[in-house]
Amino acid sequence: MSGLTKKQKNTLLRIVITFVLFAGLMVCEHLGVFGQLPVWLVIGIFVIPYLLIGYDIMIKAAKNIAHGQVFDENLLMLIATVAAFCIGEYSEAVAVMLFYQVGELFQSYAVGKARRSITDLMDIVPEYANLETGDGLEQTDPDDVEIGSVIVIKAGERIPLDGVVIEGETMIDTAALTGESVPRRASVGDEVISGCINGSGTVKVRTTKAFEDSTVSRILELVENAGNKKARVENFITRFAKIYTPAVTICAVLLAVIPPLVTGGDWGEWIRRACCFLVISCPCALVISVPLGFFGGIGAASRSGILVKGGNYLEAVSNISTVVFDKTGTLTKGEFKVTRTEPTNCSREELMRYAAHAESFSDHPIALSVREAYTGTVDTSRVANAEELAGHGISADVDGKRVVVGNRAFMQKHGISAEDPSGGGTVIHTAADNKYLGTIIISDSIKPDTPEAIRRMKQAGIKHCVMLTGDREAEAKAVAEQLGLDGYYAQLLPADKVEKVEKLLKECPDGEKLAFVGDGINDAPVLARADIGIAMGSMGSDAAIEAADIVIMDDDLRKIPLVKRIAAKTMRIVRENIVFALAVKLAIMVLGAFGIADMWLAVFADVGVAVIAILNSMRTLAGSRERAEKDRDLRETD
């Protein structure tokens, strides 16, 4: 085993030494050497390897009893092995403790590996920031860098704070946050997020967030709190163990006492059966393997750039049947562009010239997209008396003509007749001196990976994909048809979205879950209301990420079916462990009570079952297969 801690190495050394001594003692016992020695000396010889391998179990049992935690596996092991010594089964006593420690070592290694799969994220914390000052560069703590400061990030350094590149160009390695192995280019004007590695060139970045609000800080907070939210199965196992352990202890005592009193049987035989019963009954396999399975699932997801805030959410994801999406910024890029023009009584150049100049004093996204689409130069000196009516349009004097640009209602208000064309997109009507010039259609383009993501969700067993949007009916319908969605709701206010989600929640069959996917501030109430809220972590708002249960760090919707696969695998392994452990233990407990199972079979029922369950749980850590499958799929579609 590579990567063992100092404590684990010490345990391994004790196991090896004890095994060598135990093997020698077994040979001597087989040759009849001990038959010639006094009993007290034989006991003393076997006590040596017993104490070497089991002293820490005895100390733990004593400490737990002192703290009021009487019934646990340490006490069960201690009682069973001491009783074995009392009835003359010295080698079995040593063997039980030896193989129990082997199981504990496997458990410790597995838990450590699962924990490392998550806490490796702690390495993304930057140790310093190169702050640009009047005297040059000053290496300072990222906590001390104020918003708006300029920092210099050299090749190979980790980005300490979120910000915007103001000088230079480089390739950014985002693997630690997003799970993507392919670096992305960042140049002037591009956003960069903390925790990533600057791969090639030196860049200057103007910070946009304080360290405590940065991406890396939010990630660490989510990771540290993930283990506190247990799944329903985990809570059940915890409650079950608290009842189960004292119950089997009482049963073992009754098994040792009642049969000899009632039937007059051999006390030694029934005590031996009770000892076997205790060893068999240890709930280690359940208590360790179930939380380990969830921990591994969360770790596998985090390596793929998916942050799950707790095992309860991972359990819920496996039962998702309906996914509801916000449109802008989630299914689409959130970038408005002119996609079509329909000039009337003028040329396209004239239509765009009047519209671009009229919109020159507005900072609305639609105004910006109109100006970007205009191929000429906007001269604001040609514009006067601009008046904007929020949400409707703008009017202004352009080259001495009164130009009106806006929606149909705005045109009608100015006495101009206009009709919206068919098809999707936001329609902008334009007129000059009451003469209608035509329409400009602006659309928010769909993300390239969205159609593939919807297809994979269907393959993953998600039955319904529904879109909620504030856009008009025609545009919503066009997007829904293009993506193959099962339904959509248009012209919704933020409060309307909550109402629609509540309606869809009521329509979900028992046991099935609804997830909402969004990225905006106005999505926070809906994210909190859904069974599972999924936020876009790269471009999503802080409010959305805070309200969500799962965060997709690179905004790739294809991660939703991936996390559902990870969750389904985790739940399958957890159920396998529960059924396997209970079935084997119950069967051998019955055999032990009837005297058929000996102490060696009891050891298998305890240590063997625990090791098998732990190894099975470690399969959830094998995120490499899901990750390889995901990377292969992405290459095929890109």
Question: Is 326 noted as a catalytic residue in this protein?
Answer: yes
Residues 6+ apart with CB under 8 A from 254: none
Same-domain check for residues 407 and 506: no
Is 320 inside any structural domain?
yes
Strand residue runs (E) in 27-104: none
Predicted pLDDT at 2:
53
Both 363 and 501 in one domain: the answer is: no
Q: Same domain, yes or no, for 402 and 472?
A: no
Question: In terms of domains, do 504 and 554 share one?
Answer: yes
Radius of gyration of the chain (CA): 34
For residues 520 and 380, state if they share a domain: no
Contact indicator for 560, 304 with CB cutoff of 8 Å: no
Distance CA(609)–CA(107), nearest Å, equals 12
Taking Cα atoms as reference points, which of 587, 566, 568, 586 lies closest to residue 576?
568
> Structure tokens of 346?
């003028």
Is 64 within the bounds of a domain? no
Would you give the DSSP letter of residue 158? B
440 and 478, same domain (yes or no): no
- CA 247 to chain centroid, in Å, comes to 37
Residue 617: per-residue pLDDT = 77
Catalytic residue (one of 72, 173, 326, 606): 326
Kindly state whether residue 607 falls inside one of the protein's structural domains: no
Looking at residue 494, its amino acid is: P
Q: Are residues 440 and 460 in the same domain?
A: no
For 531, the domain range is: 300-327+449-566
What residue type is assigned to position 148 of the chain? Answer: G
**What is the chain's length?**
638
User: Average pLDDT per run of 10 along the chain, which is 638 residues long?
Assistant: 72 90 88 84 90 88 78 71 77 80 73 57 70 86 89 88 90 64 77 81 89 71 54 63 76 86 81 78 69 79 80 87 88 82 90 92 82 89 86 87 90 88 80 92 84 92 89 81 91 80 89 86 78 76 70 85 91 87 83 77 73 78 50 45
Q: How many domains does the chain have?
A: 3
Residues 462 and 314 in one domain: yes
pLDDT at res. 421: 82
For tokens 């269907």, name the residue. 458
Asked, for residue 416, whether it belongs to a domain, the answer is yes
- CA–CA separation, 324 and 516 (whole Å): 5
- CATH classification at residue 380: 3.40.1110.10
453 and 323 in a single domain? The answer is yes
| Domain shared by 433 and 461, yes or no | no
Residue 184's CB is within 10 A of a number of other CB atoms, namely: 16
Output the pLDDT for position 513. Answer: 92
CA 32 from chain center: how many Å? 59
Q: How far apart are CA 29 and CA 52, in angstroms?
A: 20
- Using alpha carbons, select from 222, 233, 271 the residue that is nearest to residue 92: 271
Give CA angle at 169 (166, 172), nearest 5°: 105
Residue 180 in any domain: the answer is yes
Name residue 82's amino acid.
V
Q: What is the DSSP letter of 522?
A: G
Q: Examine the domain organization and report whether 562 and 461 are in the same domain.
A: yes
Residues 404, 459 within the same domain: no
> How far apart are alpha carbons 553 and 428 in whole angstroms?
35
Give residue 638's pLDDT: 45
